[in-house]
Structure formats: C-alpha cells, structure tokens
Chain A
Amino acid sequence: MIWDAALQALSPYLLLMTLGGVALGIVWGAMPALSTTMAMALLIGLSAGMEQDPAICFLLGVYTGSVFGGAISAVLINIPGTPDDVPTMIEGHPLAKRGEGGQALGMTIAASFVGNWFGIVLLIGFIPLILTFALSFKSWEMFLLAVIGISICGSMTAGEMPLKGWIAGWIGMLVAFVGLDAIHGVPRFTFGRLELLDGINYVAVLIGLFGLAEILRVLPQRQPYSIPAEVGRVVPPFRRLARHLKAAFRSGLIGTVIGAIPGAGANVASFLAYDVGRRRAAPEERAKWGKGSYEAIVCAQVAQNANIGGSMLPTLALGIPGNAPAAAFMAALMLKNVVVGPTIQIDHPGLIYFIYTALIIANFLMYGAAILLIKPCVKLFSLPRGLLLPLIVPICVIGAYAVRLSMLDVWIMFAAGVGGYVLQAFRFPLAPIVLGVILAPMADENLRRALFIFAGEPPGFVFTQYAGDVLLIAIAAIFLEGVLRLRRAPRKT
C-alpha cells in the first residue's frame, strides 16, 4: 500500500503542486510577520477548489516550506517568522552580521531537512510507542509542560538575569488572560469592552514585539547595521554537519515527542532542544552559544522540523491536532470529507501512507527550493535598512489584521511594538512574552481541570503522577539553575 501511495505522490502534477506549495511557503515564511499558521489558514481557501490529493500535497508543501521560511527573516533581519524561530534568530543573526548569513541559512536548511526526516521516520516506525507516551500527558502534565516552556524560554533568553526572562514570560501570561475564560465563560480583564472578549491574539503580539519593535529600534539609528551581501558557500560541508549529528539526533527525538503531545507545539520543542543542547554541548562549542553557534541552530531547527512529523501523529491517529498548523491541515481534510481519527485507515485506506509520502517529497523539494532561494534572499535582506524596514511596516499591519480581520489586532500589534521597545530599553527579553501569551491558555485550562480531578484526593496525590513528577523535577532544575545564575550576577558588577 505504501508503494502505491509513493507512486501516486510522485506523479508530475502532484510534484508540481507540492513544489508550488513549498515555494509559496518559503516566500510566505520569509516575509516578516507572516506565520505558518496564517499561511495554512489562508491557503485552505485556495486548496478548497482542488481535488483531494493535490490539496494535500499543496498544503503539506506550504507547511514544510513556511516552517523553514520563517528562519530566513529571523537570521537576516532579526525578525522571526514564527515564535519557534526565536532560538534560530538569537544564534543566526549574529552570524549574518559577521557575513556568514549564507552559511547560517545553509545549516538551517540542512537541519530542517534532517529534522523533517527524523519526524517522518519516527512517525512511521514508532507510532504506538510515541502515542502511548504522549497520551500519558493529562491535564496536570500539560499544565506543567506549559510552565516548563515559559520558564525555559525565560531562562534561556535573559543572559545573567534569568529573573527578567521569567518576568517577561509572566507578563505574557497576564496578557493572555484577557478575554472570556474558556471553562465558565466569565470575562477577565476586558474592562467592559466587547472587542476584548475574544482575547489577545498571539500573532499580533509576535508581530508587534519582533517586527515593529525592531523597526522602532533600528530605523532611527544614525548608522543602522547592514547584512553583508556576499553569501559565500551555502551548502554546509559534510564534516561540519557530521560534527552535530549527536545534537541533531537528540533534538529530533525531543521535537517529535513534543509534537505528538497535543497542543504543545514547535515553540516548546525548539526551546527545549535549544536548552538541552546548551547543557550537553562541549565547552568550546558552548562558549559560542548566544553569539552565533551552528550547533545551537541545528538543535532548534531539527526539533522544530521534527515537530511537523510529530504533530501529524495525534492529528491523523486520534483527530487531535498537535499544533495550530496541524489543526488547519485537519480542517482542509474535513473540507474534502476526510474525517481524521482512529478510523482513518478503515474509512480511507492508504490515505495515511499518501500523507507520509507527500511529506517526504515536500521535504526533498523544500531542500532544493531553499538552496536556490538563499542567495536572492540574502541579497534582498541586505538592502539598506532605511529602505527595507519601512517596507515591512505595511506587512506588519496586514499580518496583524489578517488573522481575525480586526483593527483591534492592529492596535494590539502597535501597543506590543511600543511596549517591546520600552521593555528592550529596560533590557527585558521579548521571546518569553510570546511564549507566555501562547502557552497561558493551555496552562490555565489544564491547571483548573487537574485541580478539579484532584479534588477529594489526599494532598500527596499530586506526586503519584509519574510523568508529572518528572516535569516537576525539570521545573525545579530550571529555577534552581536560574537562581544560581542570579546569585552570581551581582558579583560581576
């Protein structure tokens, strides 16, 4: 059955559709402020007029392409396409400033390719095992996972002051509480404004914090920095790739498993792999982290892309989307009368193999298309900042508006941009705010569900959840390490 699916997906028409999706996805993702979720959501409409197979190939191409495309703007102009690209931005942009933008992107492509493969292979080979592990995550564990995501991000992005990173993450959580409470429907911090009942959209916050704040910071400078237009070698040498194989393997495993946990998403995966990678790196490599490390890029990108395969697992097998783009893919399948879930193999025999094959083909095409697109992208983004950054302003406006067709989101983007500029002046990191906004609803709902389930149990009952215990230890380790770092900080001054 798998060979039939492969032959079908390799037909010239479907190859063309996949390539079209990949190219569109890369260009979309490379535009600052346009995210993978937005691409998937908007292009469902475009795929609605297609037959089932071309629509699947096209959307998987868009998904794969846009996940990589987000890294292009992150590396070259310091504005990530998605929250998952923040670690790549932290490491890749210093390399681009040193004239190694081409190589950084080359490494990003190679890592994306490896990550995609990793996710697909694990998806095919270990479906029952990964699903068993992922489904042992219930409300309490999901709450702890959200806290881990925010804390790690805070710890990783604030240098010698992890406290500021955690504060930023907590601010993001407070922002996310605005709107109707998901369990009882009680309005929270809406100040009587009907527009706020729908809550604050994280895409608008992301665009404001990273897009507009960067424009406000860089454009008024007398001599804004520029990216050297010389690209140099793009495809990374095999020896350099081989040096990071261990990190790639570890990050791929993290990305796939996190992807398989419904709701966790690539943002948690990339930060977790980035954090674990930093702890496990050799001392000479570790010294480069935060200043432009190729190994760090490998960790973040492999995890982020392995997450695609991982997120398909609960989507297809259980009908529970692993993340927002996977939910959009599920919606596109529903438009074709394909109801995903445990009976997919009975209702649509062979479809699951077709999707795997299409994902593999999209991965190969992404690699080729990305290599071809790197040089033009570096040339484009090395334009003078005085020309390039004003052109991004209308994209930020459209990007914020497009999610819910609401001017309120545009104003939220503006407020986040100004707020981000002020927070940067006070030397707070911005990435944890976005993670806080994204993960707070998951933390809120799951904490309350868990407390409801635990009601009536003895106080020690909470420690009998083994996966939860592991996560509790992880949280304790993150905060302990942060406190140790914080205690060292004043001595430096």
Chain B
Amino acid sequence: MAIDPPPAISEERSGQAPAVLDLIAAAFLVALSILVMIGAARMEVPDALATAPGLLPFLTAASLGVMALALGWQALRRRPGAAAHEGAAPDTAELRRTLMLAAIIGCYLVALEVLSFEYALVVGPQRLLVGSFELVSTIVLTSLLAMFWGRPLIACLAVSAGWILALSAAFRYVFRLPLPG
C-alpha cells in the first residue's frame, strides 16, 4: 500500500542545505554524539541500570549519531553544490556586520557582569534607583541605533535613554524585579 505523505511545510529558513554544509553538520553531530555517549556511560549508576541517570542521554546521543550519519549519507548522495537554496549563506559584508553585532551584544553582557553600581536619586518623596543596567544599556542601545537606524546621534540617544528608563521603571517599580548589573 502506498502512503502519500502530506506536503512538506517548514520554518522559513529550514530544509535542505548545500551538500557540503550538511556534511559538515553531520560530522560535527557524530562527534558530539560520541562525546555525549562517553559522558553518559561514565555517569554514576546509584541503582539499577533501568533508572541510571545516563540512560536517556546515552540513548538520545546514540540515536542522534544514527540520524547524523543518515544526514551525511543523504548529503553524499547529492551532487556537490546541488540544491543550494537561495539565501543559504549571507554575503561577506552582511556576515561582518553580524559578527560585529554579536560582538557588541557580547561586550554588553560582559559590562553587565563586571560593572555593578547603583545610585539613588531623590525626587520629592520618591527614591529613584539608577544603576549600571541603565547606564550600560543606554550606551549600547545608542550605538546600535546609530549603526542600524542611521539617524543623528542625539536622536538615537534620546530614544535609547527614554526606552531604557521606561523599561527599568516598569521592572523595578511595577514588577519589583532586580535588573542585571
């Protein structure tokens, strides 16, 4: 009996990649699954094997390894370079901008981790807290807006300061939540 599967649907950017990318992914996944299997096999077994903490990690990694081999086999069966879907890889300039953006966000997180201070501004009866989150976030957001929005620096500063203050006020005073930094 022939089974006719329903048509394939997908997330916007998933599916078949150029064969070389699938091969790289398969090799990486096989290596990862072997490492996880070794780690799971070395785990302590306090009771019976059926309740061992490493049981499902081992089974998951083993089946992941099998699936990775199937992915690699599929890629090898395809002609090299075939099925390179459009938009599979961004152009170099775009990639450079992505790396820069990731680096800025990484530096932002390092700054939040390292810098930790808080000042209290007394406005009438209210004590308003301004900490490293507000300062670091405003600086980072201003630079991101200047780079990607392309408006004058003063406009970027005004938008980012207003947004960060509104966010921090909502979280600090309405939801009573400490902010990072």
In the complex, the answer to whether A160 meets B53 with C-beta atoms within 8 Å is no
In the complex, the answer to whether A493 meets B16 with C-beta atoms within 8 Å is yes
Contacts of B8 in A (CB 8 A): 158-160, 162, 290, 485
Contact partner of B148 among A386, A405, A452, CB < 8 A?
A: A386
CB closest chain-B residue, reference A177: B57
Contact partner of A188 among B14, B21, B43, CB < 8 A?
A: B43
CA distance A410 to B22 in the complex (A): 30
Chain B CB within 8 A of A490 CB:
yes
CA distance A162 to B67 in the complex (A): 11
Residues of A353-396 contacting chain B, CB below 8 A: 384-387, 389-391, 393-395
Chain B CB within 8 A of A125 CB:
no
Chain B CB within 8 A of A196 CB:
no
B160 to chain A, nearest CB (A): 8
Chain B CB within 8 A of A287 CB:
yes
Interface string of B136-170 (1 = CB under 8 A from A): 01001100110011100000000110011001000
In the complex, the answer to whether A186 meets B44 with C-beta atoms within 8 Å is yes
Contacts of B15 in A (CB 8 A): 158-161, 164, 427
Interface string of A155-191 (1 = CB under 8 A from B): 0111111111111001101100100010110101100
In the complex, the answer to whether B64 meets A184 with C-beta atoms within 8 Å is no
Contact partner of A220 among B44, B56, B98, CB < 8 A?
A: B98
Q: 8 other contacts beyond A46-B175, A157-B10, A421-B102, with CB at 8 A cut-off?
A: A46-B174, A158-B8, A164-B71, A181-B53, A183-B51, A220-B97, A395-B167, A414-B105
Contact partner of A163 among B7, B10, B67, B160, CB < 8 A?
A: B67
Interface string of B26-40 (1 = CB under 8 A from A): 000100100010011
In the complex, the answer to whether B50 meets A452 with C-beta atoms within 8 Å is yes
Interface string of B96-127 (1 = CB under 8 A from A): 01101110011011001100000000000000
Determine the interface band of chain B, counting residues with CB < 8 A from chain A: 35 or more
Chain B CB within 8 A of A486 CB:
yes
Determine the interface band of chain A, counting residues with CB < 8 A from chain B: 35 or more
Contacts of A167 in B (CB 8 A): 29, 64, 67-68, 71
Contacts of B36 in A (CB 8 A): 174, 189
In the complex, the answer to whether A158 meets B14 with C-beta atoms within 8 Å is yes
Contacts of A279 in B (CB 8 A): 6
Most buried by A among B16, B61, B63: B16
Chain B CB within 8 A of A431 CB:
yes
Chain B CB within 8 A of A411 CB:
yes
Interface string of B69-92 (1 = CB under 8 A from A): 011001001110011010011100
Chain B CB within 8 A of A135 CB:
no
Contacts of A389 in B (CB 8 A): 148
A-B contact pairs, 28 of them (CB 8 A): A46-B176, A157-B14, A158-B11, A159-B8, A167-B68, A170-B60, A188-B40, A188-B54, A188-B57, A278-B6, A387-B159, A390-B144, A394-B137, A397-B112, A398-B179, A401-B179, A424-B14, A425-B88, A425-B89, A427-B14, A429-B14, A443-B56, A444-B56, A447-B56, A448-B51, A451-B51, A485-B8, A490-B78
CB closest chain-A residue, reference B99: A220
In the complex, the answer to whether B53 meets A424 with C-beta atoms within 8 Å is no
CB closest chain-B residue, reference A441: B56
Residues of A126-180 contacting chain B, CB below 8 A: 156-167, 170-171, 173-174, 177
In the complex, the answer to whether B10 meets A159 with C-beta atoms within 8 Å is yes
Chain B CB within 8 A of A45 CB:
yes
A208 to chain B, nearest CB (A): 11
Contacts of A165 in B (CB 8 A): 14
Given the interface pairs A186-B44, A186-B53, A451-B51, the reply to whether A158 lies near B10 with Cβ below 8 Å is yes
Chain B CB within 8 A of A250 CB:
no
Residues of A209-244 contacting chain B, CB below 8 A: 212, 215-217, 219-222
Contact partner of B3 among A164, A287, A384, A484, CB < 8 A?
A: A484
Binding site for A on B (CB under 8 A): 3, 5-17, 21-22, 24-25, 29, 32, 36, 39-40, 43-44, 46-48, 50-57, 60-61, 63-64, 67-68, 70-71, 74, 77-79, 82-83, 85, 88-90, 93-95, 97-98, 100-102, 105-106, 108-109, 112-113, 137, 140-141, 144-145, 148-150, 159-160, 163-164, 167, 171, 174-180
CA distance A164 to B11 in the complex (A): 12
B25 to chain A, nearest CB (A): 5
CA distance A451 to B48 in the complex (A): 10
CA distance A143 to B50 in the complex (A): 14
CA distance A186 to B61 in the complex (A): 18
In the complex, the answer to whether B11 meets A390 with C-beta atoms within 8 Å is no
In the complex, the answer to whether B144 meets A429 with C-beta atoms within 8 Å is no
Chain B CB within 8 A of A428 CB:
yes
CB closest chain-B residue, reference A89: B11
Chain B CB within 8 A of A418 CB:
yes
CB closest chain-A residue, reference B50: A451
In the complex, the answer to whether A170 meets B5 with C-beta atoms within 8 Å is no
Contacts of B90 in A (CB 8 A): 220-221, 425
Chain B CB within 8 A of A266 CB:
no
B27 to chain A, nearest CB (A): 12
Interface string of A83-97 (1 = CB under 8 A from B): 000000010011000
